[in-house]
Amino acid sequence: MKIILSHPTGNANVRAVAQGLNEAETLSGFYTAIASFPGDWLDRVSGIGALAEIKRRQFHPALQARTKFYPWFETGRLLASKLHLSKLTRHEQGMFSVDAVYRQHDKWVARNLKSQAGSTAYTAVYAYEDGARYSFNEAKRLNIPCYYDLPIGYWRTARRLLKQEIEKWPEWASTLTGFKDSDTKLGYKDEELQLADHIFVASSFTAKTLADFNGRLAPVTVIPYGFPAVEPRSDYNSNGKLRVLFVGGLSQRKGIANLFAAAGELADFVDLTVVGRKASNDCAALDNALNKHKWIPSLPHADILKLMRTQDVLVFPSLFEGFGLVITEAMSQGLTVITTDRTAGPDLITNGENGLLIEAGSTQAITLALENLINDRRRIRLMGRAAQETASKRTWHVYGQELARAIATLNRK
């Protein structure tokens, strides 16, 4: 078994999959947009300010021989974003939109599959949502398996659940950008799912959302993502206001209207810090809420982890989340996490032991959870330490190994 792994940007979970497959000696090729390796020319030029983004696309040197890259559209997207050329990156329509990057990358992978037809270099394709349609269709023509990774829940479920939020919080409706997806894009998502021979998801919640698919699907396997490295901490706050952190996109999909309402009720007892970019620049309710708290639009990943070590609690009240990497990041840094049943929280957290699970969409649940911690600071320290113990047992390396073994098992059947 030799597998082509395809993803244009190479997120943390993709990196772990690539390394897991490579260690298992089943990786035929890792197809991405921009790839740098220690000491190569891209690594050297990444020290130039305008090219610093390349640092985020650096991969383990063991992958270098198997990595192929197609940089043109992703480079165009990055440059257009830097130059604020919004027409070029406009949702779905822009030449360098995220949709265009995924679509063109997928077409490139399909062309490579076609050119290698009859070769024994590969026997399966592993691709991700919005970037699998063309490569999967070519794989079907070549009669090789298609493994699909769905990183966020099924779109029909998202619309069903989030439509309720528009009715409950109409002033936050502009932040629910998922409703902008065209029927064509949604149809492509369904086509990708139908082409898959096996579906991988990172949370039980994501798996449950596929029940809304209109038709039969391939089997689904849940493999939760890994945790970053644990960083020891001892500065738990036993006095003063509770230091509460939120990290994520500023959209009601993340439940931030509920969080701001809870923070308002507890204004005398909590300090709320918010890290994340606005999902919309046309939401007065969001602007008003941000003016009342500390807001940091963006931080490098290392600085986010550093900030986490200065906080007491992470509240991540998402209403629809495929996983929620911020949960594992916070737990690894010793934070008590409050999150909902519509994230990976139930797969990672034992309620009351290494974090707190609450009902999604409930301001009252957030308020009550924070009040309990305000009144019993000792629990923050105990749950934070238990969270780090959980994190230490499930690294990104473990995730990559588990996924590689799962694929190997499929191929033995």
Beta strands in 230-331 (DSSP E): 242-247, 270-275, 294-296, 313-316
Rounded to 5°, angle at Cα 358 from 341 and 210: 10
Residue 379 lies in a domain: yes
Residues 307 and 405 both lie in one domain: no
Residues 364 and 402 both lie in one domain: no
Residues 196 and 339 both lie in one domain: no
Residues 249 and 211 both lie in one domain: no
Q: Residues 31, 108: contact at Cβ < 8 Å?
A: yes
Give the burial string for 220-248 (b: 16+ CB within 10 Å, else e): bbbbbbbbbebeebeebbeeeebbbbbbb
Residue 86 lies in a domain: yes
Quick count: other Cβ atoms within 10 Å of Cβ 402? 17
**Separation of alpha carbons 217 and 206, rounded Å:** 14
The token pair that represents 42 in the structure block: 């891209």
Q: How do the pLDDT tens digits run along the chain, 413 residues long?
A: 799 999 999 899 999 999 999 999 999 999 999 998 888 877 777 666 656 777 788 899 999 999 999 999 998 998 898 888 999 999 999 999 999 999 999 999 999 998 877 666 668 999 999 999 999 999 999 999 999 999 999 999 999 999 999 999 999 999 998 899 999 999 999 999 999 999 999 999 999 999 999 999 999 999 999 999 998 887 777 678 999 999 999 999 999 999 999 999 999 999 999 999 999 899 999 999 999 999 999 998 899 999 999 999 999 999 999 999 999 999 999 999 999 999 999 999 999 999 999 999 999 999 999 999 999 999 999 999 999 999 999 999 999 999 999 999 987 76
How do 67-69 and 124-128 pair as beta strands?
unpaired
Quick count: other Cβ atoms within 10 Å of Cβ 197? 17
Residue 371 lies in a domain: yes
Residue 84 burial (10 A CB sphere; 0-12, 13-18, 19+): exposed
Quick one: how far is CA 349 from the chain centroid? Answer: 18
Residue 218 burial (10 A CB sphere; 0-12, 13-18, 19+): middle
Residues 401 and 387 both lie in one domain: no
Number of residues assigned to the chain? 413
Residues 150 and 13 both lie in one domain: yes
Residue 237 lies in a domain: no
Q: What is the dihedral of CA 253, 254, 258, 261, to 10 degrees?
A: -120
Which amino acid makes up residue 331? Answer: M
Residues 213 and 251 both lie in one domain: no
Residues 208 and 256 both lie in one domain: no
Residues 249 and 221 both lie in one domain: no
Q: State the CATH number of the domain containing residue 380.
A: 3.40.50.2000
Residue 233 lies in a domain: no
Residues 105 and 39 both lie in one domain: yes
Q: Determine the structural domain holding residue 366 and report its residue range.
A: 242-392
Specify the pLDDT at position 50.
58
- Write the CA distances from 329 to 200, 271, 286, integer angstroms: 21, 20, 25
Residue 235 lies in a domain: no
**Separation of alpha carbons 139 and 114, rounded Å:** 8
Helices vs. strands in the chain: H and E counts, helices first: 16, 13
Residue 232 lies in a domain: no
Specify the pLDDT at position 116.
79
135-190 pLDDT, tens digit per residue, is: 999 999 999 999 999 999 999 999 999 999 999 999 999 999 889 999 999 999 99
SS3 127: strand
Confidence (pTM): 0.93
Residues 333 and 382 both lie in one domain: yes
Quick count: other Cβ atoms within 10 Å of Cβ 39? 10
Residue 38 burial (10 A CB sphere; 0-12, 13-18, 19+): exposed
Residues 197 and 127 both lie in one domain: yes
Domain count, the chain: 2
Give the burial string for 156-175 (b: 16+ CB within 10 Å, else e): bbbbebbeebeeebeebbbb
48-64 pLDDT, tens digit per residue, is: 665 677 778 889 999 99
Residue 339 lies in a domain: yes
